[in-house]
Structure 1
Amino acid sequence: MPSGFSAPSGPAPKRRKISESCNVCRQKKTRCDGQRPVCSSCSTKGISCEYSKDSIVAIPASTLASIDARLSTLEQLMSGRTNVEACPPEACTDQDDDSVDNEPSALQQTPANVIIGILKHANHLDTSTARKTLNVSSQETTQVNTNNLKLPDRSDADLLLESYARQVYPVFPILHLPTLRASYERMWPPSQPGNVRLLTNNDVVLYATLNIVMALGRLNKVSIEPRMSREQAKAFYERARGLLTLDAIDSPSLETVQYALLTTQYLLFTSRFNRCHIAIGMAIRAAQSIKLDSGAEINGSQREGEMARRVWHSCILLERLVCSLFGRQVTSFAESTVPLPTPTDDEYLLEDKVDLQPPDRPAIIVAFNITIEIFRIIEDARWIIVPRAHLTLGELTTVLQLNERLDHIQGSLPTHLRNYTKSARGTQEPQDDIFVLQHVAIMIRIAHIRLLLLRSCILEAARQYVSSPVAELDPPRMADRLRLETCHICVRAAIDTIDLLDHNLHAPIRVMSCIALFTAFSAASVLVAASLVPELEEHYELPGTRFSQAINVLTNHRWQIDGVSSAKEQLEQFMKTVKEIKARRGTPTGPAITTVLRDVSTPDTQGDGLFDFDLSDPLWSLDWSSTVELPGF
């Protein structure tokens, strides 16, 4: 295993001892770092700091002259920049920090850091506030733990960046990939003796962003020690969090919004549901504060305008995804006035002129725009996010209309996203694997929304079978037949979804995401519940081999996503409960099953045992977080 992927171990470096404490710290018996002329403790408390005369160490005049010259040079270089202050690890360590290693950072030992530390007391520096700031005003400095200002070894970092670019970016193109790569290359400058590199707030945002990118890349790099994926991804996340916490963004920029969106993406792989929901909320508020939601023309380059559109729609898209998974209320957005991004890939978005996508080259960004259309249905189906015990005929009609919209989107996919077995151009191209990935991602998203819309009918049918003796049911009516047909649509969707996810496990590059996991769970639950309805069970031989396939899909996500084992246990328990109910009821006899799906609400059946598996929960009780999290980022 490359060393850069390994989580750290070993003792933390010992604190460097000082020769003499100041008088105040000595009297109060508090820790003193011995810094001259004012120690950190006294500086923080704003009190006078004095040292005994016999402890004052004489500094040669030549040394003072050298420091003065270097400070003068730094003042000139830092004109128009914002300070980033290096602080000792013991002063900045997060109690929940799982950074990738605990050894002294090479960056921390450079002359640049020593001088930047000295600049803490150089209040006369004239720093101006740049447009892209971090979390402080122009007069303040930012404390940064320099242990977090680093990346893995170059070879390891290259692998993780490529994993992000091939498996994460095509599904959620939040960043401008050429800009990311160029910034990444600048993080590896050639070693030059005496070279002093100043750190700005933009550097801190970049380091934090790259670490989140590395975390997402690691989760999707299943070919290298998959058992370590979550642990090592978490280490990158904690390092980014140690550099930039979301609640510390006082002056948002496009870059900080992108960072918040990437953080949301990462948190979707974890059981930190509340933190994920709060993160996307912060991304949206930060985007609104810089007017990304206004739809106004941006007086800038083609690249700036397109990225502003892309980032705003990413905010809306991710919020709708998060809310659909967690059963939360979507923020009330009117139809966005921000136009969709143009179907132009990153390499054609220029700074100095306007370029167009070549007509013979399908754009990667097309799949993103299609996903936006898919999740617009969530806005029109907000009332159905939490499954109902009973749908009226009018509500059922609305559900079927929304399902038809999904059919239309699926049927109108462009050629390069419709056929995922060979190139749309007849020859194998480097981008074909990415188009395969995008096809699968789109189909999973369609399946997720479809099951979200239709599963209430399956649940209602299962409840009626459990609660009502078949012989007492009324003759079928038109509404009953409509409900049964809706159940058939839902079961077919669940079967197709599991087949798609099973096929995805053997693809060149796989979709490994929370939505794939949740959709597999939802589809398997539909099939198990549908097996309680005799006509559906007999027609589709439920649950059949699809249940085992769904369990296999969940198992293949166990190294990437928290809570897979819990999800498998819930499904298996649900299957056991359904089998017990069927055994108690025996083989159903009497009128056709169409009479089971009555157009009336069903009584509470909690006492029967089936609904120990809470089918009214938005995630079908898929809540793996046992504690309520505080919004501490």
Structure 2
Amino acid sequence: MLQTWSQDILREPQPKRRKIQLACNKCRNRKTRCDGHRPACIACLERGLAAECSYEHNTHPSQRYTGRGTVIPSHSGASNTAELLSSPTQSTHCTNDFNRVDGLATVAFPREDENLYGESSTIAFVRHVMHEQPPPEHQQYKSPAPEPIRDRDESLAVYPRRQTADDYVSSFWEFVHPVFPILHKASFMSRYKEVWSSEPYKGQHNTDQADEVAFSATLNLTFALGCQFSSLVAANKRVVVADEFYQRSRRIFIYDILDTSSMPVLQMLLLTGVYLQSTRYAERCWNTVGLAIRAAQTLGLHSESPTRRLERQLTREIRRRVWHVCVTLDRLLAMTFGRPAMITRSWDIPIPLLIDDEFLQIDGDGHQPSNIPSRMGLFVYSSKLYDILDKILITFYVEPETSKPISTDDSLQKLLSNVLTFNRQLDGFHNSAPEYLRLPAKVAHSGIHMNSNIQLQAQILNCRFLYTRVILLRPLLLLSA
């Protein structure tokens, strides 16, 4: 028995029978196996019926599924596709009807945001064919509301006592927001105050469950970031307390919310990436920022059309800030991990204005008072500095000419020339920065009000400047080693 079993193991497996799409008419009538060979199958050849071997063409067009339940005939033209998508009798609803785009972005319902899908996408082509004709009302699906937080886990809706929470949030605005201005302070604080009120939220934001989930996760992230600078938390306990808030944010956030891109979801992802920078979750930080960049591109933040520039100042500036936070984190992580940046130079979004949150206007244009240094100074000039850093990384690290042994004087001369060119750019950047952001921090005249926050910004910018110069000079250091 053992020998028989071993022989069976060693015996080569029988090849699977090849399936054919269409048998010839003779074999179908005789109900015999057909190999589908053209112009005559083997069975008909063996019977001497090669002349009578024929294949009946399928009268029903083949179909392919788009992945979300809509069936499109494979031979139909663009006009038939448009008719099929707009006809209620020829479309099939899927169980996950909240997904308005299939996996390969070939079918979608019209959206107002023209930047959502570029001209090369199939969706843009279908829209052009359909002349942006909106689908019937029964096809205008909406994403289902996520399960309310309290229904999933009551502990997720529990926050610290008010005094402690206020201190964490205050620390967040003082130490984190100037470095990464992801949120708008007035809008966030208006919603934050409603958390402690028994009245339902009556702000300008949508009050659906998706918004509640995104805000609650964001609030826990502000606690996680702010508590690390709070005097209420002992230094040796800050990491543990921060991780507790982060884990709570993770339990609140469900990936189904990514089916609908929105600014609150994007801001929540960016804050998650900012928090993860200083934790042991290095790869998670890298991947989370990648998700945030994709969400930003989905919202069209990488493209600013002329109509976008005519938007209200508050909306326009928040969009610019969030996009440049994406760029900043992308370049910081690319430098840290030694990997290519995800965002290329195929965007042209102006750097945000040097104006604080409280001076941004919904109607009209606000201005920063001349005697108050903007808390946006660090972020704005860091963005300019990282433009130079990006070029340094591409020249010396992503596409390095120094990867090959430098054996000629010409190669060494080119390396030195590139280093000196970027060094002059860094000197020009340093000279262009306002005096209150230099070390030691100075003021042009006594009318400018200085505070510890501005001095901290000057220290951070100086550290970033020096580290960028170290990255520039490293190839020369390694060459001489």
**How has the CA–CA distance of structure 1 residues 423 and 150 changed in structure 2, closer, same or farther, with 3 Å as cutoff?**
farther
* Conserved 8 A contact 1:218-1:232: yes
SS in 2 for 1:142: coil
> 1:246, 1:279 within 8 Å by CA — same for their partners in 2?
no
Aligned to 1:385: 397
Distance 2:234 2:255 in 1: 31
Deviation digits for residues 432-476 of structure 1, max 9, x if unmatched? 2111111111111112211112123223323xxxxxxxxxxxxxx
Shift in CA distance, 425/230, structure 1 to aligned 2, threshold 3 Å: farther
Please tell me whether residue 453 in structure 1 is matched to residue 458 in structure 2: no
User: Deviation of residue 231 (structure 1)?
Assistant: 0.9
How many Å apart are 1:187 and its aligned residue?
Answer: 1.0
Conservation of the 8 A alpha-carbon contact between 1:205 and 1:244: yes
CA, structure 1 residues 143+180, in 2 after alignment: closer, same or farther (shift >3 Å)?
A: closer
Matched, 1:304 2:315: yes
Q: Which residue of structure 2 lines up, in the alignment, with residue 403 of structure 1? A: 423
Amino acid at match of 1:178: A
Q: How far does the alpha carbon of each residue in 1:319-346 deviate from its partner, in whole angstroms, 9 at most, with x for none?
A: 0011111111112512531111122211
In 2, distance between residues paired with 1:188 and 1:422?
Answer: 42
Task: Give runs of aligned pairs for residues 481-560 of structure 1, distance below 5 A.
Answer: none
Query: Partner residue of 1:350?
Result: 361
Q: CA 1:223/1:450 → structure 2, altered by over 3 Å: closer, same or farther? A: farther
Change (3 A) 1:165 1:246: farther
Partner of 2:373, secondary structure, is coil
How far does residue 416 in structure 1 lie from its aligned partner after superposition?
A: 1.8
SS at match of 1:449: helix
The verdict on how the C-alpha distance between 1:451 and 1:422 changes in structure 2, with shifts beyond 3 A counting, is closer
- SS of 1:358's equivalent in the other structure is coil
Corresponding residue of 1:371: 382
CA deviations 1:26-53 (Å, max 9, x no partner) are xxxxxxxxxxxxxxxxxxxxxxxxxxxx
- CA positional deviation for 1:304: 0.5
Cα distance in 2 between the residues matched to 1:283 and 1:218: 24
> Is the alpha carbon distance of 1:254 and 1:407 closer, same or farther for their aligned partners in structure 2, counting shifts above 3 Å?
same
Highest RCO, 1 vs 2 (Cα 8 Å, sep ≥ 6): 1
Per the alignment, residue 156 of structure 1 pairs with 164
Question: What SS is found at the alignment partner of 1:285?
Answer: helix
- Distance in 2, matches of 1:217 and 1:420, equals 27
> Whole-Å Cα distance in 1 between the matches of residues 258 and 180 of structure 2?
23
1:200: how far off?
2.6
Cα distance in structure 1, aligned partners of 2:318 and 2:442:
31
Q: Deviations over 1:474-502 (max 9, x none)?
A: xxxxxxxxxxxxxxxxxxxxxxxxxxxxx
Name structure 1 gaps, 5 residues minimum.
1-81, 83-127, 130-135, 193-197, 463-633
Which residue does 1:283 correspond to in 2?
A: 292
| Closer/same/farther in 2, CA of residues 443 and 351 from structure 1, 3 Å limit | same
Task: Specify the code of the residue in structure 1 equivalent to 2:301.
Answer: L
- Whichever residue aligns with residue 256 of structure 1, its letter is V
Shift of 1:378: 2.7
* Residue aligned with 2:271, SS: helix
SS at match of 1:303: helix
Q: How many angstroms apart in 1 are the aligned matches of 2:470 and 2:254?
A: 36
In structure 2, the partner of 1:185 is 193
Distance 1:140 1:359, change over 3 A: closer
AA matched with 2:340: Q
CA contact (8 A) 1:164 1:214 kept: yes
Superposed, 1:210-225 pairs within 5 Å as 210-221=219-230, 224-225=233-234
- 1:434 maps to 453
Other structure's SS at 1:385 match: helix
In 1: Cα distance, 2:197 partner to 2:271 partner:
26
- In structure 2, the CA distance between the partners of 1:242 and 1:354, relative to structure 1 (3 Å rule), is same
Per-residue CA deviations over 1:560-581 (Å, capped at 9, x if unaligned) read xxxxxxxxxxxxxxxxxxxxxx
> What TM-score, normalized by structure 2, do the two folds share?
0.62
Conserved in 2, the CA contact under 8 Å of 1:149 and 1:204? no
Query: Identity over the aligned pairs, expressed in percent?
Result: 31
Question: SS where residue 259 of structure 2 aligns?
Answer: coil
* Cα pair 1:164 1:217 within 8 Å, conserved: yes
Quote the Cα distance in structure 2 between the aligned partners of 1:228 and 1:247.
33
Which residue number corresponds to residue 349 of structure 2? 338
Q: Alpha-carbon deviation of 1:426?
A: 3.2
Q: Distance in 2 between matches of 1:461 and 1:254?
A: 49
Contact 1:348 1:357 in 2 (8 A): yes
Q: How far does the alpha carbon of each residue in 1:499-526 deviate from its partner, in whole angstroms, 9 at most, with x for none?
A: xxxxxxxxxxxxxxxxxxxxxxxxxxxx
The AA in structure 2 aligned to 1:328 is R
**Residue equivalent to 1:203:** 212
- Partner Cα distance (1:162, 1:336) in 2: 34
Match of 1:294 in 2: 303
Report deviation, 1:149.
2.0
Partner in structure 1 of residue 27 of structure 2: none
CA distance in 1, matches of 2:474, 2:233: 37
Q: Partners in 2 of 1:248 and 1:290 — Cα distance?
A: 15
Amino acid at match of 1:385: Y
Is this contact kept in 1: 2:146–2:209, CA < 8 A?
Answer: no
Q: Of the candidates 262, 270, 288, which is equivalent to residue 261 of structure 1?
A: 270
**CA distance change for structure 1 residues 323 and 216 in 2, over 3 Å: closer, same or farther?**
same
Report the alpha carbon displacement of residue 232 of structure 1 after superposing the two structures with TM: 0.8
Give matches, 1:31-180, under 5 Å.
Answer: 137-139=142-144, 141-142=146-147, 144=149, 145-146=152-153, 147-180=155-188
- SS of aligned partner of 1:249: helix
Tell me how far apart the structure 1 counterparts of residues 346 and 472 of structure 2 sit (CA, whole Å): 21
SS of 2:351 mapped into structure 1: coil
- C-alpha deviation, 1:234, in angstroms: 0.7
SS of 2:295 mapped into structure 1: helix
Counting matched residue pairs gives: 326
Q: Are the structure 2 counterparts of residues 283 and 419 from structure 1 closer, same or farther at C-alpha, using a change threshold of 3 Å?
A: same
Q: Which AA in structure 2 matches 1:302? A: Q
1:106-135 residue CA offsets vs partner (Å, 9 max, x unmatched): xxxxxxxxxxxxxxxxxxxxxx99xxxxxx
Determine the C-alpha separation between the residues in 2 that align with 1:332 and 1:308.
16
The Cα shift of 1:156 comes to 0.7
What SS does structure 2 have at the residue aligned with 1:362? coil
Structure 2 residue corresponding to 1:414, chosen from 434, 437, 449: 434
Aligned-residue offset at 1:224: 3.1
User: How big is the shift at 1:427?
Assistant: 7.0
The C-alpha deviation readout for 1:191-248, integer Å capped at 9, x for no partner, is 89xxxxx863212211111111111112233673011111111111111111114674
In 2, distance between residues paired with 1:364 and 1:140? 37
Q: Which residue of 2 aligns with 1:623?
A: none
Cα distance between partner residues in 1 of 2:378 and 2:395: 27
**Aligned Cα root-mean-square deviation (Å):** 2.9
1:443 counterpart residue number: 462
2: CA distance, partners of 1:143 / 1:189: 18
